[in-house]
């Protein structure tokens, strides 16, 4: 686990990069292929064979990495689909690692064997995040269509034993809601570092089934309260302030998070966006322009996002999700998402979230 000094240094570097609009962060989606078949996945939406035909080659990714490095890339994350499915994964990983770039790997963990454990021990990543989809093989079959629970647990344990910084991501969906708390309990019992996400990634890519797997705001609030109670961090409050309506002050434009300010996200087919949630515009194609040119277009796209008029001066402004894709009705409407506003009020009232004072 990285210490507080490292975290502070990274935070300072990223904050400075946001001011200067330098892409020191990058997320590379190496493939849309996966060995699992999660019904709610916003990437894996076609056959592996079709994905393989369209994904970038080893040399194309290396060229992108080199250009990103020239643009002062310091922190990179690799994902899919399942990024370990690529036969050239180690080659791509080492291409970044050899440039002294801090590399994070996002994986389902089911392909991590002794060979991979030894590889990561020899060439340590900044961190490995493993998604956990249930507390049993039955839960995995329900969510992913495959068995994978034992393999994922073994991977987490083996990596931790090798001294690798491992985080476990547990994100609820309709397919997992009945097993979510059991999965969180399992992480607590095994002393895994669990990263829990209340709201699933919004599928900006066309997905007619999205209503089948999103949780309702009531379900999210209930599961969040159960999780907080499990970790003894539930502090209910007697009363909460009312949110503001639209203010006379015009909302500001532009993303205020890392996306499009210090972070570039590159999809498996070679397009750059601010991030997966804020997929503004059509994306800048790295097959048609340089990384620097694509970054300029991405910064411009991020600047076009309009903040919610209701958020100006609202007592929940610092407590609501920072991600504009969650907070806003849409990225250019200039209005907040009332469902997220209501969810935040519920989480504060339940004691799951602490009301943060506004400036």
pLDDT at 211: 60
Give me the residue spans of the domains in the chain. 4-215+256-305, 234-253+306-353
What angle (nearest 5°) sits at the alpha carbon of residue 167, between those of residues 295 and 141?
100
Please report the DSSP string for 273-313 in residue order. Answer: ES-SS---TT-EETTTS-HHHHHHHHHHHHHT-B--GGGTT
pLDDT at 208: 53
Q: What would the two tokens of residue 55 be? A: 């994904």
Q: How far is residue 221's CA from residue 339's CA, in Å, rounded to a whole number?
A: 12
Instruction: Check if the beta carbon of residue 68 is closer than 8 Å to that of residue 26.
Output: yes
Q: Closest Cα partner for 253 from 245, 243, 261?
A: 261
| Segments in the chain forming alpha helices (H) | 4-20, 48-54, 58-70, 89-97, 114-122, 137-144, 149-161, 180-190, 210-213, 217-230, 291-303, 324-327, 338-350
Q: What's the topology of domain 4-215+256-305?
A: TIM Barrel (3.20.20)
Q: Closest Cα partner for 306 from 280, 335, 278, 283?
A: 335
The values of phi and psi at residue 347, to 5°, are -70, -35
Q: How far is residue 96's CA from residue 330's CA, in Å, rounded to a whole number?
A: 35
Q: What would the two tokens of residue 205 be? A: 């890519």
DSSP reduced 3-state for 266: strand
pLDDT at 203: 44
The values of phi and psi at residue 96, to 5°, are -75, -45
Q: How far is residue 313's CA from residue 345's CA, in Å, rounded to a whole number?
A: 15
pLDDT at 162: 98
pLDDT at 205: 44
Tokens 């080893």, located at residue = 58
For residue 75, the cross-strand partners are 25, 102
pLDDT along the chain (359 residues), means of 10: 84 96 98 90 72 91 98 97 97 98 98 98 98 97 96 98 97 91 96 79 50 81 91 81 68 86 96 86 93 97 89 88 84 87 89 84
The values of phi and psi at residue 167, to 5°, are -115, 150
pLDDT at 204: 41
């Amino acid at each position: 686990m990285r210490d507080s000094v490292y975290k502070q240094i990274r935070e300072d570097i990223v904050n400075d990069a946001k001011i200067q609009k330098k892409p020191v962060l990058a997320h590379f989606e190496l493939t849309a292929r996966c060995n699992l078949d999660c019904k709610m996945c916003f990437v894996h939406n076609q056959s592996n064979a079709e994905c393989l035909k369209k994904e970038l080659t080893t040399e194309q990714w290396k060229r992108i990495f080199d250009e990103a490095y020239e643009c002062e890339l310091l922190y990179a994350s690799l994902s899919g689909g399942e990024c370990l499915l690529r036969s050239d994964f180690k080659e791509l990983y080492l291409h970044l690692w050899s440039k002294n770039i801090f590399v994070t790997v996002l994986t389902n963990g089911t392909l991590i064997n002794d060979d991979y454990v030894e590889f990561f021990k020899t060439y340590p990543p900044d961190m490995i995040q493993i998604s956990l989809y249930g507390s049993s093989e039955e839960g995995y079959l329900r969510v992913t269509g495959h068995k994978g629970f034992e393999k994922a647990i073994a991977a987490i344990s083996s990596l931790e034993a090798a001294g690798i910084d491992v985080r476990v991501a547990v994100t609820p969906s309709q397919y997992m809601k009945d097993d979510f708390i059991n999965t969180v309990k399992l992480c607590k019992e095994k002393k895994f570092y669990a990263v829990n996400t209340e709201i699933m990634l919004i599928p900006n890519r066309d997905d007619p089934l999205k209503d089948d797997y999103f949780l309702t705001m009531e379900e999210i609030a209930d599961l969040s309260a159960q999780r907080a109670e499990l970790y003894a961090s539930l502090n209910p409050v007697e009363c909460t302030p009312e949110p503001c309506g639209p203010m006379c002050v015009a909302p500001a434009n532009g993303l205020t998070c890392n996306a499009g300010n210090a972070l570039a996200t590159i999809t498996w087919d070679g397009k750059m966006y601010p991030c997966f949630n804020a997929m503004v515009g059509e994306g800048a194609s790295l097959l048609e322009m340089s990384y620097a040119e694509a970054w300029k277009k991405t910064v411009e796209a991020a600047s076009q996002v309009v903040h919610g008029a209701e958020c100006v001066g609202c007592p929940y402004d610092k407590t609501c999700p920072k991600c504009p894709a969650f907070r806003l009705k849409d990225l250019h409407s200039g209005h907040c998402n009332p469902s997220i506003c209501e969810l935040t009020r519920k989480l504060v009232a339940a004691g799951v979230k602490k009301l943060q004072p506004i400036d």
